[in-house]
Amino acid sequence: MNENIKPTGLNCCFISGPVHSPILLRAIQQWDIPTYIQPPTPTLPETINILTDTQAASSIQDKNAVVIINWEASLSFILENLPQQQRLNQVNTFKNKATFRKLVKELYPNLFYVELTRDTLQDFRFPEEVETVVIKPNIGTASIGIRTVHGQKEWLKAVDLVLKDIDIAKEHMNPAMLNDSSFLVEEFIDGDEFACDGFWDANGKTVITGIYQHPFASNSDVSDTVYYTSKQVVAQTIEPTIQVLQHIGTKLEMRRFPFHFEFKLSNGNLFPIELNPLRFGQVALPDITEYAFGFNPYDLFFADKSPDWDSLLGNSNYSQIYAFILASLPPKYESEKNWFDEQSFCNTFGNKLLNYLPSNPEITPFFGVAHIVADKVEDVLAYLELDFDSFLKIRE
């Protein structure tokens, strides 16, 4: 931690979910950030200042409160306790994908989208000028219930799969994370997908703390299996990303507000996918930024400081690749019958493995997260084809 940096504002952290980011835990301990726990979640270190329900609710009533969460589940508590003010409107604008699409429509006036209810999904018809669409729940997370649909012939089958995915997942999630009351159907943009962590600072300036490329195994893949970062990834995306986020931040008068922004780059143009409010990437995704660039993004958020990207991206012709690998649950997994050979999963990466964080498959659709380093992008992309069934063992 840079001893010259001091925390600013009324900071409060909300922690939930199955995996704790080591760099987040380190930051809240170093800054002595009051923290609220929302079960189920692993035990936190005793040195962390834990808030009661009443204290947590009171802490976010202050209009100057600076809040960050690590997992979507904490939004339910925040939405229930935020007063009816600008901050609540900002959170709701970002959390609802259709509302967010309306917010950026002036930047992309020709991009097709429509909002549908669960009951009207069956009646949707492709516009003549649109060949492929993406369907997603307006309130959703972790790519659950998202499908890319190539033409009208695939539509009804895709809707059926989407609804089944959501029906299964929402049994373990509260409505603030996922619900099926309304859906966004939008034109598919062919391009490379990225995610970005950052915040609007006290002056409304956009601060980027990390950018990750999100590759897929195929055009129909919507999984979160692999994200990676490097000097090249950040250098090619940071300027257009700041331009779009600054437009959004200025329009909504954003201040001291963290985000996880997802977008595509297509023919040199940036197209927003969604913006998740009050958090960086989940399940320890931001940790690969510290591996790659040597700073803790949570430190910078608490201190309201920006990375020196000009210096960090110097000599960006070559750099190692730092990646996040999410170990998904195979469809045939049954908790009473199966267990995961996590050591074999870790051995898959050999000396590329930097860290492994186990998860609880009873509350999430994955059993762990690996952070790795590689010399070539191709080495990272190979993990898109991981056979997670091979790590599934039969209980004796």
Q: Mind listing the pLDDT tens digit for each residue in 269-278?
A: 999 999 999 9
Q: Tens of pLDDT along 98-157?
A: 899 999 999 999 899 999 999 999 999 999 999 999 999 988 777 788 999 999 999 999
Q: Select from 301, 212, 313, 311 the least CA-distant residue to 255.
A: 301
Alpha-carbon distance of 234 to 208, in angstroms, equals 10
214: left (phi over 0), alpha (psi -120 to 50) or beta: beta
Q: Give the pLDDT mean for 345-366.
A: 93
pLDDT score at 1: 38
Residue 165 has pLDDT above 90, yes or no: no
DSSP string over 290-331: HHHHS--HHHHHHHT----HHHHTTTTT---EEEEEEEEPPT
How much is the pLDDT for 9?
59
Q: How many C-beta atoms surround the C-beta of residue 376 within 10 A?
A: 10
**pLDDT of res. 4:** 44
Quote the pLDDT of residue 176. Answer: 66
Give the integer Cα–Cα distance in Å for 116 and 101: 14
Determine the pLDDT at residue 138. 84
Could you tell me the two tokens for 244? Answer: 């779009």
Other C-beta atoms closer than 10 Å to the C-beta of 303 total 20
**Per-residue confidence at 268, pLDDT binned at 50, 70, 90?**
confident
So what's the pLDDT on residue 348? 97
Mean pLDDT across the stretch 294-319? 91
Q: Are 380 and 359 spatial neighbours (Cβ–Cβ below 8 Å)?
A: no
* 235: confidence class by pLDDT, cuts 50, 70, 90: very high
Q: Residues 6 or more apart from 5 whose CB is under 8 A from it? A: 299, 300, 303, 305
For 314-348, the pLDDT digits (tens) are 876 678 999 999 999 888 888 888 899 999 999 99
What is the structure's pLDDT at 243?
96
- Report the length, in residues, of the chain: 396
* Residue predicted with more confidence, 222 or 38: 38
Between 79 and 347, residue with greater pLDDT: 347
Helix and strand element counts for the chain (H, E): 12, 17
Prediction pTM value = 0.90
In the 8-state DSSP scheme, what is residue 260?
E
- pLDDT at position 365 is 83
Mean residue pLDDT of the chain comes to 90
d(CA 282, CA 24) in angstroms, rounded, equals 11
Ordered structural domains, the chain, with CATH? 112-187 (3.30.1490.20)
